[in-house]
Amino acid sequence: MSQPAEEIYAIPAEYRKMENTHILFWLVKDISWCMVWKTLGILMIGPTLGIAIVIAWRTRALKSELAHNLAIVFWITANSYWMLSEFFGFDTVRIGTLTDGKHLAIIPFAIGLLILAYYYLVQKPREAREAQVATL
């Protein structure tokens, strides 16, 4: 019995350039946060998050890529909210009895984690079963 050919995932050069630019924007945003360069940090949220959304959209046909890229979108969202909470001083403001402003970032972080949990616990095993049935 022969082994099925290994699936190859290739990234078009145009997409790769966008991903590399995304990394640059993300680093500038986080360096701005670290150095408390408020204006630049805030300005970098748009392109960093925007490119992450475009990448997720472009990979929507591949469930694995979509799940991971959506997790990145929510990660950047949480990260940006956290940065804004520190820049505008509401990071330590109490929200109810359980948390403060900064820790509300857990919501988008958790959404990203739930997307990945669904992929690894439900979608990927389903794909494996379907592939196994297809080879019979």
Q: Work out the percent of the chain whose per-residue pLDDT is above 70.
A: 96
* DSSP notation for 56-82: HHHTTTSHHHHHHHHHHHHHHHHHHHH
pTM of the prediction?
A: 0.89
How many other C-beta atoms are found inside a 10 Å radius of the C-beta of residue 67? 21
Q: Does residue 5 register a pLDDT over 80? A: no
CA 12 distance to own-chain centroid: 20
Q: How many angstroms separate the CA atoms of 39 and 42, rounded?
A: 5
Tens of pLDDT, residue by residue over 61-74, are 999 999 999 999 99
In angstroms, the Cα distances linking 100 to 84, 103, 109 are: 13, 6, 16
Note the pLDDT tens digit of each residue in 74-127: 999 999 999 999 999 999 999 988 899 999 999 999 999 999 999 999 999 999
When the pLDDT of each residue in the chain is averaged and rounded to a whole number, the result is 92
Task: Give pLDDT, residue 125.
Answer: 95
What does the pLDDT read at residue 2?
A: 54
